[in-house]
């Protein structure tokens, strides 16, 4: 018998499917475009981490906020979130941000003194997601309510250590756009003309 409520498990499955689409959008170079309207769509980055059991590379899109040069995100499904457990097991991560690709170290920041302020900033930076999935208005919720609603959330800080470049990162399939455009132009040019 699962200890995770059925509704929460259903949300995990929705996110799992949606995450694949988000990662592909980053790979074809649309990651910065996803972040063009943070108040609506939210600020989204991709965390690359290693599976604690499988040892395989995993990627998870998450909402984030940058505060004093540090990157913060949170595991809203709490301490059972697979990506959170993976990072706690192996803190070496990579982050794909709209302005670059970084190697970093992930660390739990759930006991920080300003935890609620950081969580509020992440929820504000999540755009519609805070309203739609957590039923929280981060701009008006009281600190007491926010504490109660996010008691199980795990806060993660990513300390960027060095910039990363090369294959295997965001935009690696950017070449698809010129190729697709060229194919469409050739098809348009070769189609029979009506008289």
- Residue 1 located in a structural domain: no
The pLDDT score that the predictor gives to residue 136 is 87
The count of domains in the chain is 1
Residue 83 has pLDDT above 80, yes or no: yes
- Residue 97 located in a structural domain: yes
- Residue 183 located in a structural domain: yes
**Model's pTM, two decimal places?**
0.82
Model confidence over 119-148: pLDDT tens digits?
999 999 998 888 877 788 999 999 999 999
For 13, 53, 83, 90, the CA distances from 57, given in Å and listed in that order, are 19, 11, 11, 11
Q: Which domain holds residue 80?
A: 6-190
The pLDDT score that the predictor gives to residue 7 is 55
The pLDDT score that the predictor gives to residue 51 is 96
The CATH number linked to 29 is 2.30.110.10
**Cα–Cα distance for residue pair 47/84, rounded to 1 Å:** 10
Task: Name the β-bridge partners of 124.
Answer: none
Tell which residue, 59, 73, 66, has the closest CA to residue 16: 59
- Residue 195 located in a structural domain: no
């Amino acid at each position: 018998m699962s200890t995770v409520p059925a509704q929460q498990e259903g949300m995990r499955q929705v996110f799992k499917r949606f995450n694949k689409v988000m990662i592909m959008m980053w790979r074809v170079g649309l990651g910065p475009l996803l972040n063009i309207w943070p108040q609506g769509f939210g600020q989204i980055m991709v965390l690359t981490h290693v599976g604690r059991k499988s040892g395989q590379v995993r990627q998870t899109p998450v909402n984030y906020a940058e505060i004093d040069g540090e990157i913060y995100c949170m595991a809203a499904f709490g301490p059972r979130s697979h990506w959170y457990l993976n990072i706690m097991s192996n803190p070496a991560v990579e982050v794909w941000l709209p302005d670059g690709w970084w190697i970093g170290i992930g660390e739990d920041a759930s006991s920080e003194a300003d935890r609620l302020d950081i969580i509020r900033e992440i929820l504000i930076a999540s755009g519609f997601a805070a309203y739609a999935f957590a039923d929280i208005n981060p701009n008006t919720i009281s600190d007491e309510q926010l504490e109660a609603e996010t008691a199980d959330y795990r806060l993660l800080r990513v300390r960027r250590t060095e910039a990363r470049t090369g294959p295997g990162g965001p935009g690696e399939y950017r070449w698809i756009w010129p190729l697709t455009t060229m194919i469409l132009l050739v098809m348009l040019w070769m189609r029979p003309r009506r008289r």
